[in-house]
Amino acid sequence: NAGMRLLPEEERLETLAILKKNREEVDRAIQGLPLRIETLSQIRRKDELERRLKEIEDAFKIFSRPKVLVHL
């Protein structure tokens, strides 16, 4: 594909390691939320953490492929 390049294996593995670390941090933050989420700020925090977790998981799926193309 024009404007794309194959991500070197080393970079792919580094990215996976970073994503794993980020996922663990977000998981810890979610576990640290109160059991009863009642205030608007708690709801916003929970929604933001869940959105970040979904983004991380989506990226993890992409970078788990043996070959990853990235934009130049």
The Cα–Cα gap between 57 and 59 comes to 5
Residue 10 identity (one-letter amino acid): E
Q: How large is the average pLDDT for residues 50-61?
A: 98
Structure confidence at residue 65 (pLDDT): 96
Q: How large is the average pLDDT for residues 53-70?
A: 96
Question: pLDDT-derived band of residue 60, with 50, 70 and 90 as boundaries?
Answer: very high
Contacts of 42 (CB under 8 A, 6+ apart): 33, 34
For residues 15 and 63, the answer to whether their CB atoms sit within 8 Å is yes
* Residues 15-48 pLDDT 10s: 999 999 999 999 999 999 999 999 999 999 999 9
Q: Which residues pair with 33 in a beta bridge?
A: none
Structure confidence at residue 72 (pLDDT): 87
